């Protein structure tokens, strides 16, 4: 469900935050779309054991011990794809945090929470990749900031929405800035 909803969510957040910084909003959309593609590819591999151990042609192609070993391989490989996914997702959350902090139409406290959550994603991902024993000691504490930040952001948007006056003000300023940039290019 998350992989399906991330695509329209990337578009929604781009439209919402392009008035703050169009390029950074686009980069945020890029990071979440790449993370989603990596996550979806990893999910597809999770179905491999069903094909190997089912009643299809693979079930009799190899001895049972080899089939069981092959069936456990996608689970072992999923850690690697998860690390790559969380790097892109952590970068997405950090960019989103900056946009929220600069926006002034979503509370800055949520931006701070998102920044902490984004750093937590990156720290845990790299720690688990480089020093799994050390990363095991970080759990569950390193994982707490992300759901708190993302939950606060989601709840704020669902309950209060954005400050429409602040958003309209930013949108007007962004439109003026874009038109004045275009005018100066035309004069050149």
CA dihedral 114, 116, 122, 126 (to 10 degrees): -160
Per the structure, the count of domains in the chain is 1
Write the CA distances from 70 to 44, 49, 52, 186, integer angstroms: 15, 8, 8, 62
Could you tell me the two tokens for 62? 């190899």
What range defines the domain where residue 180 resides?
A: 2-187
pLDDT for position 187: 59
**pLDDT tens-digit series, residues 96-150:** 999 999 998 899 999 999 999 999 999 998 888 888 888 888 888 888 999 999 9
What pLDDT sits at residue 74? 79
Question: Taking 70 as the threshold, does the pLDDT of residue 159 lie above it?
Answer: yes
Assign 177 a pLDDT band (cuts: 50, 70, 90). Answer: low
Cα(170)–Cα(18) distance, rounded to whole angstroms?
A: 9
pLDDT band for position 179 (50/70/90)?
low
pTM of the full predicted structure? 0.81
pLDDT at 185 over 60: no
pLDDT of residue 92: 96
- Report whether pLDDT(20) > 60: yes
pLDDT of residue 25: 96
Residues 60-92: pLDDT tens digits? Answer: 777 878 878 887 887 777 777 888 889 999 999
Helix locations, 2-131, DSSP H = 2-17, 22-45, 48-53, 64-103, 108-130
Residue (of 106, 88, 85, 94) closest to 163 by Cα position: 106
Query: Which value, in Å, is the radius of gyration of the alpha carbons in the chain?
Result: 22
């Amino acid at each position: 469900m998350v992989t399906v909803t991330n695509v329209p969510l990337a578009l929604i957040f781009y439209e919402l935050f392009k008035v703050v910084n169009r390029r950074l909003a686009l980069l945020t959309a890029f990071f979440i779309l790449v993370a989603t593609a990596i996550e979806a590819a990893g999910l597809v591999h999770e179905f491999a054991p069903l094909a190997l151990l089912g009643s299809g042609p693979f079930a009799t192609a190899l001895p049972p011990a080899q089939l069981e070993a092959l069936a456990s391989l996608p689970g072992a490989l999923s850690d690697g794809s998860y690390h790559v996914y969380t790097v892109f997702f952590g970068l997405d959350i950090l960019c989103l945090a900056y946009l929220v902090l600069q926006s002034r139409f979503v509370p800055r406290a949520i931006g701070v929470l998102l920044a902490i959550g984004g750093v937590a994603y990156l720290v845990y991902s790299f720690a688990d990749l480089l020093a799994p024993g050390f990363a095991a000691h970080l759990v569950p504490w390193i994982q707490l900031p992300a759901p708190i930040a993302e939950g606060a952001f989601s709840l704020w948007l669902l309950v209060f929405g954005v400050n429409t006056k602040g958003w309209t003000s930013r949108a007007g300023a962004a439109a003026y800035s874009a038109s004045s940039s275009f005018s100066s290019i035309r004069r050149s």
